[in-house]
Amino acid sequence: MDTVLYLLFLGAVVFTIVAQIKVNRTFKKYSAVRASSGLTGSDAARLVLYSSGIAGVQIAPVSGSLTDNYNPQTNTISLSEDVYGAYSVAAAGVAAHEAGHACQHAADYYPLRIRNLLVPVCNFTSKLTFPLLLIGMLLTYFNEYIGVRVMMVAVAAYAVAVVFQIITLPVEFDASKRAMAALSGSGRYTPDELAGAKKVLSAAALTYVAAMSVSLLQLLRLLLMVSGRRR
């Protein structure tokens, strides 16, 4: 069982690496394709917001590459250097996706609400997981009952991160769905450009699937570890 689990975990790690390479290559490929609409990434984000009748969302540049995000607390879409002022198909897709999150927030999309509630909890528990696990393992040499209980708390803390990863999937898929619907409905992008933007978003979605796979297998490994200690 341990061998199978480690092979699955290794496969998930490889999948994560491949997914990251794919998203970088796909983004680079369609960053070189200029959108015939003449719209920048920030324009595409505004287009998505306008199509949903949403106002009051700030759109600002942020440093880095693929650092794009939407902050519901400040109601701000932050677009990276390769997206904010770029006229590419990739920029349109990424910016529209982040605007899709703003649309979710405005519509009080339930999975997004749950994910936002989990963010501070996940940030807290993620710092506890491995220190508690180490303390629990050490305690088992002196008091097995207490040590195992501490390890169980560590596993429960890690499980919060796994739940966060699972909830992230529908949130990201729905944001991309909203983005593509708005770009298509605008009539400003050709079918080929829409297909390219969709490929960029699909490649990005793979990274979330990979992250969830690694988290689930890591949780299973921790559960088996604690179960072994209990015996």
Amino acid making up residue 60? A
Give the H or E element holding residue 59. Answer: strand 58-61
144 annotated active-site: no
- For residue 2, with 0-12 CB atoms within 10 Å meaning exposed, 13-18 middle and 19 or more buried, which class applies? exposed
CB atoms within 10 A of CB 143: 11
3-state secondary structure 212-229: HHHHHHHHHHHHHHHHHH
- Separation between Cα atoms, residue 63 and residue 79, nearest integer Å: 8
Strand intervals (E) in 63-218? 69-71, 76-79
Selecting among 81, 98, 144, 193, the annotated active-site residue is: 98
- Separation between Cα atoms, residue 199 and residue 33, nearest integer Å: 13
- Separation between Cα atoms, residue 17 and residue 81, nearest integer Å: 24
Contacts 24+ apart (CB under 8 A), 218-221: 218/9, 218/158, 218/162, 219/155, 219/158, 219/159, 219/162, 220/5, 221/5, 221/9
Contact (Cβ atoms closer than 8 angstroms) between residue 141 and residue 148:
no
Task: Provide the annotated active-site residues.
Answer: 98
